[in-house]
């Protein structure tokens, strides 16, 4: 009997470990940017919260189609590799994000889909990645030729790494993707490429928004509708490719604030529709501002909150 009990406990433990391992790395991995904002050591985030995975940003171009962290720090042998190793030693994993708003983008520097795919692959191979995020913004997003190059390169990468999780992250209007976003989806569908998830960034709308939770939900609904139309998917299948990456606290717009209550509403929506990804920008900001300051956009949220309040909420998301 004792042996049977021990065996049952072992099997139960193995089952739990398998269930945990089965959760996609990008499913609930908040962004952290190590380039500014007095970032917390990523391993300390893993230790202090229930979150296990982190999206580290950003890989950019160093010269001609050469990927480096922020376009200036080496892939291997530097502080970023040390951070990744520490996250993994703590039982977590990383989703590496390419792009962002600032800096020189690989999609623009690499002049062919094959060259761009090779740049992505260099990073994937350097770290043995299970997940990548292409945060396509600014010139990468607005230039039609570059957008097409990005999706063509990602199709090459997907074929070479069929188990790789791929997120494409981009801005949105309140009712869903704007014209550049719609074109991006159309270009991908036209060549038969479907990433793991299309992730919207529902903030910085440019007009006053009273309820950022509901605005984010409306944008995600609009994205699901676009995916249904472009890929011929059912509503449930479309939502299985939808992601939301919010911004915690004050956004770049003075009249926008994503409260913990807003993020809770987004979380409930994600749970109800089994979204492929839920994230936010950023862990750096997931703390109140010191000394009564209203906002330090790169290092605190600008709202009254508990440290890691948004990270703790995100950790509740399991698809």
Q: Are 35 and 284 in contact (CB under 8 A)?
A: no
pLDDT in tens, 215-227: 999 999 999 999 9
State the Rg of the chain over Cα.
19
Do the bridges between strand 131-135 and strand 165-171 make them parallel or antiparallel, or are there none, so unpaired?
parallel
> What is the sign, positive or negative, of the torsion defined by CA atoms of 125, 128, 130, 136?
negative
Q: In sequence order, which ranges of the chain are alpha helices (DSSP H)?
A: 2-22, 42-48, 79-89, 106-109, 113-127, 138-142, 144-160, 179-190, 212-231, 235-239, 260-273, 309-314
Closest CA to 245 of 137, 161, 142, 145: 137
Q: What is the pTM of this model?
A: 0.92
- Is position 137 annotated as part of the catalytic site? yes
C-alpha count within 13 angstroms, C-beta hemisphere, residue 269 = 23
Rounded to whole angstroms, the Cα distance separating 175 from 222 reads 5
pLDDT in tens, 267-284: 999 999 999 999 999 999
pLDDT in tens, 149-206: 999 999 999 999 999 999 999 999 999 999 999 999 999 999 999 999 999 999 999 8
Q: In this predicted structure, what is the pLDDT of residue 2?
A: 42
Ordered DSSP codes for 13-80: HHHHHHHHHHS-TTTT--EEETTSS-PPPHHHHHHHSS--EEEEEEEEE-SSS-EEETTTB-SSSSHH
Closest CA to 127 of 71, 62, 74: 74
Average pLDDT over residues 11-26: 58
Rounded to whole angstroms, the Cα distance separating 282 from 242 reads 19
Q: In this predicted structure, what is the pLDDT of residue 5?
A: 39
Residue 294 banded pLDDT, cuts 50, 70, 90: low
Choose between 295 and 162: higher pLDDT. 162
Q: How far is CA 280 from CA 27, 246, 263, 300, in A?
A: 12, 4, 9, 13
Q: In this predicted structure, what is the pLDDT of residue 292?
A: 60
From the candidates 26, 32, 137, 256, give the one annotated as an active-site residue: 137
- Look at residue 18 and tell me whether its pLDDT is greater than 70: no
Residue 293 banded pLDDT, cuts 50, 70, 90: low
- Look at residue 8 and tell me whether its pLDDT is greater than 50: no
- Look at residue 11 and tell me whether its pLDDT is greater than 90: no
Rounded to whole angstroms, the Cα distance separating 182 from 243 reads 15
What does the block give as tokens for 24? Answer: 């996609």
Q: In this predicted structure, what is the pLDDT of residue 97?
A: 98
Least confident of 1-15, 74-88, 150-164, 171-185: 1-15
Q: In this predicted structure, what is the pLDDT of residue 15?
A: 44
Average pLDDT over residues 40-61: 98
- Look at residue 19 and tell me whether its pLDDT is greater than 50: no
| Phi, psi for 86 (deg, rounded to 5) | -70, -40
pLDDT in tens, 91-124: 999 999 999 999 999 999 999 999 999 999 999 9
Enumerate domains of the chain plus CATH numbers.
Answer: 25-314 (3.20.20.80)
What does the block give as tokens for 53? Answer: 């995975």
Q: In this predicted structure, what is the pLDDT of residue 295?
A: 59
Q: In sequence order, which ranges of 23-78 are alpha helices (DSSP H)?
A: 42-48
């Amino acid at each position: 009997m004792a042996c049977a009990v021990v065996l049952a406990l072992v099997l139960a433990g193995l089952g739990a470990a398998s269930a945990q391992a089965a959760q996609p790395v990008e499913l609930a991995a908040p962004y952290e940017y190590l380039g500014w904002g007095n970032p917390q050591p990523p391993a300390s985030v893993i230790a202090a919260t229930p979150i296990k995975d982190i999206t580290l940003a950003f890989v950019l171009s160093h010269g001609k189609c050469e990927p480096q962290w922020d376009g200036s720090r080496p892939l291997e042998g530097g502080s970023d590799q040390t951070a990744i190793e520490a996250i993994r030693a703590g039982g977590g994993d990383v989703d590496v994000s390419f792009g962002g708003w600032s800096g020189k983008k690989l999609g623009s520097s690499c002049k062919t889909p094959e060259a761009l795919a090779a740049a992505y692959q260099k990073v994937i191979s350097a770290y043995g990645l299970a997940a990548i995020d292409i945060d396509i913004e600014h010139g990468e997003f607005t230039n039609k030729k570059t957008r097409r190059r990005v999706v063509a390169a990602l199709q090459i990468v997907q074929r070479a790494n069929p188990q790789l999780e791929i997120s494409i992250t981009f801005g949105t209007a309140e009712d869903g993707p704007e014209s550049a976003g719609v074109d991006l989806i159309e270009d991908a569908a036209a060549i038969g490429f479907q990433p793991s998830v299309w992730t919207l960034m529902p903030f910085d709308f440019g007009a006053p928004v009273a309820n950022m939770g509901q605005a984010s939900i409306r944008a995600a609904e609009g994205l699901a509708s676009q995916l249904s139309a472009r890929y011929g998917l059912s509503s449930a299948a479309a939502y299985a490719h939808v992601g939301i990456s919010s911004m915690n606290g004050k956004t770049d717009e003075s009249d926008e604030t994503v409260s913990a209550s807003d993020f809770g509403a987004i979380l409930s929506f994600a749970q109800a529709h089994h979204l492929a990804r839920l994230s936010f920008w950023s862990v750096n900001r997931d703390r109140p501002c010191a000394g009564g300051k209203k906002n330090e956009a790169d290092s605190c949220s600008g709202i009254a909150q508990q440290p890691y309040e948004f990270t703790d909420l995100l950790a509740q998301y399991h698809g």
